[in-house]
Amino acid sequence: MALLLLLFAAPAFVAASGGLERRLIYPAIPVKYGSAAWIARQIFENERDADIVFMGSSHMLTAVRTRYVKEEFSRRLGREAEAFTLAWPRGGFDVLSVIVEDLLAHRRVRTLVIYDEGYDEVPHLLAPRWISLGPNGDLLRGVPFGQAVGLYGSAVLGLPRHLLSLLRPDRLEDPTSPAPDYWTNAYQAPNLASELGALRARIGFAARPGFLPIVPIVPFVADGSATPADVFVYGPETREQFEFGGPPTGPYQLHFARRVAELCRAHGTKLVVLHTPTLRERGATRIIERDFWPGELGADVALLGIAPARLLAGIEPSKVELLFYEVDHVNQNGQDLFTRLITPALFSIYDRAAPAH
């Protein structure tokens, strides 16, 4: 019993001492929970100011081809742009907020683009891997009591592995290594680092992606009628292009979504919420969001998207599935289409944003 009490109290002692550095958290995270080696390198080792960073759950991991965005930004800026993606499986604004905090504490970021579906009113399934209460000492402040207990419990579960990193150094894997890993095997994808952190999934539509047998991708260049003019940023003149249908995000997730927005304001970073495409919305003529994010997070937050019906307009219905590997995620075919359409709007937002301070 005494041992259990000591273990439960340990995160509070660590929080008080500040003895666990955030950079020690990342090497112990298995690659299937997000390429922690890539994420850590971008946060703690690369010191360049970032023009645009994409962050969030697997929706963001798969939706945008970051290398294309980098090339287009570089062409428009007349210099090499700095662009990358930091993403991981499963949604939850709690984990997103601590990784945003790490990033903005170490690097200037002019534009941060997020999407996170944050449905569950409980701590992220991988919170024990990503969250520590030492450096993130204020994390429980303002969290509803029941969820605060759960989040503290996540810190308890993760602490033994985090403390092991204090006793002996972890070896951070090389994110550029050509050796196969979970992502290259399950999704037949190129190394995440070679795609600047994005998952370029080279598999076809399947009910259970990542399980054998792998459905081979059918290369398909979408030749529909959508153009960048079909992409909208929410505002008084474009509000009819959006629909906010709920159910509203609960207080736990909304607390951490607001934390992300506040971190961005404190660091002079323009925050963009990007609506990513899913097959289940294919007939929608408006951009459907659960929440009115500029209202919930602040009027300075940009909300960007393209209605699914416009995204898929002009594409033969029998070929629409060639753009997805399952109902909620695009494969490389869909990634190419979506990225090409949204990049001009992203640059316009970036161009109007004040430089990060």
pLDDT at 10: 54
Domain ranges for the chain: 45-119+180-352
Q: What are phi and psi of 306, to 5 degrees?
A: -135, 135
Whether the model clears a pTM of 0.75, i.e. scores above it, the answer is: yes
Q: Which of 256, 7, 285, 30 is nearest to 143 (CA)?
A: 256
pLDDT at 153: 84
Q: Which of 3, 10, 5 is nearest to 156 (CA)?
A: 10
pLDDT at 38: 92
Helices 251-266/93-106 angle, 10° precision: 10
pLDDT at 345: 98
Q: Per-residue pLDDT for the chain (357 aa), expressed as one digit of tens each?
A: 444 444 445 555 454 445 567 888 888 888 888 888 899 999 999 999 999 999 999 999 999 999 999 999 999 999 999 999 999 988 899 999 999 999 999 999 999 999 877 778 888 888 888 888 665 557 888 888 888 888 888 888 887 777 777 677 777 677 777 788 888 888 999 999 999 999 999 999 985 665 657 888 999 999 899 999 999 999 999 999 999 988 889 999 999 999 999 999 999 999 999 999 999 999 999 999 999 999 999 999 999 999 999 999 999 999 999 999 999 999 999 999 999 999 999 999 999 987 877
pLDDT at 17: 47
Residues in Cβ contact with 16 at an 8 Å cutoff, skipping those fewer than 6 apart: none
Judge whether 293 and 253 are in contact, CB under 8 Å.
no
Top-level CATH class of 45-119+180-352? alpha beta
pLDDT at 128: 84
What's the rounded Cα separation, in Å, for the pair 250 and 143?
11
Q: Which of 64, 89, 91, 69 is nearest to 80 (CA)?
A: 69
pLDDT at 253: 93
List the structure tokens of 116. Answer: 């996170």
* Distances 220 to 53, 163, 322, 323, 337 between C-alpha atoms, Å: 27, 48, 7, 8, 10
Q: What is the distance in angstroms between the CA of the first residue and the CA of the last residue of the chain?
A: 50
pLDDT at 31: 85
For 50, the enclosing helix (H) or strand (E) is strand 50-56
Question: What is the torsional sign of CA 256, 250, 33, 311?
Answer: negative
Q: Which of 239, 233, 331 is nearest to 278 (CA)?
A: 331
Q: Which residue has the tokens 């971190």?
A: 263
List the structure tokens of 127. Answer: 């919170």
pLDDT at 213: 72
Q: Which residue has the tokens 């503290």?
A: 152
- Helix/strand/coil for 356: coil
Residue type, 74: S
What's the rounded Cα separation, in Å, for the pair 318 and 332?
18
